[in-house]
Structure 1
């Protein structure tokens, strides 16, 4: 089984913290839809497996007109072997959500929404430079449920300079009261070359507090456990039956095709990524050329990627799978290196797997680096 990701590189407004590829000008949007539809044809041989997930990401895919989504869906279903029960997700901003659009998305085959709430607090949303307000954040989730969407995820950002622990827990409580079955929660990261980084450097905004972020992450884990959400990946929490199948496929090392500018693809042996330039992408696709760079993955890279992604999940590093990916000697070396993290109660060995403890989840990237070959 495999997945397809479609990158829609347009937004109404630039969030201060965002470092994804997008443009606030929608001038090229019509040409972009046609180009992505044509890339689907050009990439028809990339995936041999059946397609079990499709994900519209961005940018802001909810900017698309229903006809645009129908065009891309029809093209994918005509080119690829899509499973009848495929999970098909659309990322949506609260300010784009209307009853009309929700019904149109459902009619097009969208069966899962990922809504970029980020916060229910007005001050937080203004600080992030989000396009929506607190009322829209709340009403969009309510409206989606009322119009028949039950598989809904919402994104939250915690660890912003002025977010108190009480306010953070209230954000979570509000989502739970709305019966949202999936939460993706991210600590605010100050990325290079973002407006946020520049404003912090100029002392126009406060920097993040790593200790405060750790406390809010621990509060999140405790709250989720008490409310019946499974912490199945570092940043993701789901009620039973509502894990993201698409994102899980990344962590499980399944193959996927990325369509659109800046989108990444992976077939098990190579990784490739499309050019991050809208005009050049469209120009190349119109010449029947997919503009991408590619790298062949070494056996060491494959092992390290598995260590990094598997460690983030609640299944952990499955040792028999690691041995198939590498060999007995390498696996034994990783088990040996893991002992210091086990002694520090950051890792535990359970059922032939190395799994992060709650404390270890605070140091996931460092632990993975300590196991790399």
Structure 2
């Protein structure tokens, strides 16, 4: 099983917190799609002969692409890769792009079977602060339109730990999300990424991060409310109903191969990582010259071990110690278990059937646990 990620770097406006490679100038869109189709052809052998089980359009804002853009891309993908009939095909979207007409086109003419909608909050003041384009009502309307058209695998994003966010606001956001009856929720704490407008406001003292204890309480309340509503907390920041996990993101956490296409997209072939240049002009120039503008990181055994620990411990499936020993040897398994011992004794980790994983209590100190299990 392998996955394909396609980075669409276009946005109507730039959110205050975003540090992904994006641009608001749409003029190179046609050339971008042409270059993307050429990259698909140039890299058709990257994942070997494996079936493609997931295709994920992320961004940026993939919902800025038109029907004709998507048709060009899918035609090339199907020509160069063996896409499994039951492949999960996801599009990230902004609520205000999801008009009935646009969604009807997606449903009738394109193979998307999963939508990931960037709502972030159901509080209009928070949305204005984040520089999101939609309102709370528009977000709820967009989800309902998707459901009315037959989409039955919908994920929404929520954000907590915002400046001035109270527990009352956060609980209301969670209740609104639950009431929408979606299948998946991803929720992340606001991060002050260097280079963003939010970071500059923070450095100038115009915004203050939320209290750390309140952040922990918000995370705890999220777990309580979502699990009580029937969501399975299968990864630290992700919750799913009815087993509808994000297959694409799960492939990252389970160490599967994936090919990243488009500017700034990352790839992993099972041994090494690579990433495309974070510039649409340089990306297009490289593709036209058939000289991919990318960097490659050759992963040594210690780095691959650390990745194995980091990704596995984030999930409910944990770290398979038999796989660890098979991949990295008895020495590394012994190292892992030695450093895990105090957390096992304190109830922050469990080991059962040769699986090492976090307990509910361990999730709250997961960064420290994973750091201690890594080889440095």
* TM bin (shorter chain): over 0.9
Gaps of 5+ in 1: none
Distance 2:352 2:171 in 1: 31
Partner of 1:120: 122
Partner of 1:9: 9
Partner of 2:226: 224
C-alpha contact 2:178 2:226 (8 A) present in aligned 1: no
Partner of 1:294: 296
Per the TM alignment, residue 166 of structure 1 is displaced from its structure 2 partner at its CA by 2.1
Residue 101 of structure 2 corresponds to residue 100 of structure 1: yes
Distance 1:132 1:235 in 2: 23
C-alpha contact 1:188 1:208 (8 A) present in aligned 2: no
Residue 343 of structure 2 corresponds to residue 338 of structure 1: no
Per the TM alignment, residue 134 of structure 1 is displaced from its structure 2 partner at its CA by 1.5
1:189 aligned residue (191, 207, 225): 191
Superposed CA deviations along residues 326-349 of structure 1, whole A, max 9, x for unmatched, are: 111210121010011223322122
Distance 1:81 1:172 in 2: 39
1:212 aligned residue (211, 214, 219): 214
Gaps of 5+ in 2: none
Q: Relative to structure 2, which stretch is displaced further, 267-276 or 161-170?
A: 161-170
Per the TM alignment, residue 27 of structure 1 is displaced from its structure 2 partner at its CA by 1.5
Per the TM alignment, residue 287 of structure 1 is displaced from its structure 2 partner at its CA by 1.3
TM normalised by structure 1 equals: 0.98
Partner of 1:324: 326
SS at match of 2:158: strand
Distance 2:211 2:195 in 1: 20
C-alpha contact 1:116 1:156 (8 A) present in aligned 2: yes
Superposed CA deviations along residues 92-148 of structure 1, whole A, max 9, x for unmatched, are: 000100111112222210010000000111011011111111111111111111111
C-alpha contact 1:308 1:365 (8 A) present in aligned 2: no
C-alpha contact 2:4 2:259 (8 A) present in aligned 1: yes
Distance 2:218 2:288 in 1: 48
Partner of 1:40: 40
C-alpha contact 2:52 2:84 (8 A) present in aligned 1: yes
Distance 2:126 2:226 in 1: 22
Q: Relative to structure 2, which stretch is displaced further, 166-175 or 259-268?
A: 166-175
Partner of 2:62: 61
Superposed CA deviations along residues 173-196 of structure 1, whole A, max 9, x for unmatched, are: 212211111000001111111110
SS at match of 1:261: coil
Distance 1:218 1:149 in 2: 30
Distance 1:329 1:280 in 2: 44
Distance 2:97 2:114 in 1: 16
Residue 143 of structure 2 corresponds to residue 141 of structure 1: yes
Distance 1:236 1:245 in 2: 12
Distance 1:209 1:14 in 2: 26
Q: Relative to structure 2, which stretch is displaced further, 131-140 or 257-266?
A: 131-140
Superposed CA deviations along residues 299-321 of structure 1, whole A, max 9, x for unmatched, are: 11111000000000001111111
Distance 1:333 1:290 in 2: 39
TM normalised by structure 2 equals: 0.97
Q: Relative to structure 2, which stretch is displaced further, 258-267 or 186-195?
A: 186-195
Partner of 2:368: 366
Per the TM alignment, residue 289 of structure 1 is displaced from its structure 2 partner at its CA by 1.7
Counting matched residue pairs gives: 373
Distance 2:163 2:34 in 1: 42
Runs of 4+ in 1 over 3 A off after TM superposition: none
Per the TM alignment, residue 290 of structure 1 is displaced from its structure 2 partner at its CA by 1.3
1:203 aligned residue (202, 205, 209): 205
CA RMSD of aligned residues (A): 1.0
Q: Relative to structure 2, which stretch is displaced further, 350-359 or 260-269?
A: 350-359
Q: How does 1:244-263 map to 2 (within 5 A)?
A: 244-263=246-265
C-alpha contact 1:52 1:85 (8 A) present in aligned 2: yes
Distance 1:286 1:131 in 2: 35
Partner of 1:51: 52
SS at match of 2:369: helix
Distance 1:354 1:210 in 2: 28
Superposed CA deviations along residues 145-170 of structure 1, whole A, max 9, x for unmatched, are: 11111100000001112222122122
Distance 1:254 1:90 in 2: 20
Distance 1:75 1:347 in 2: 46
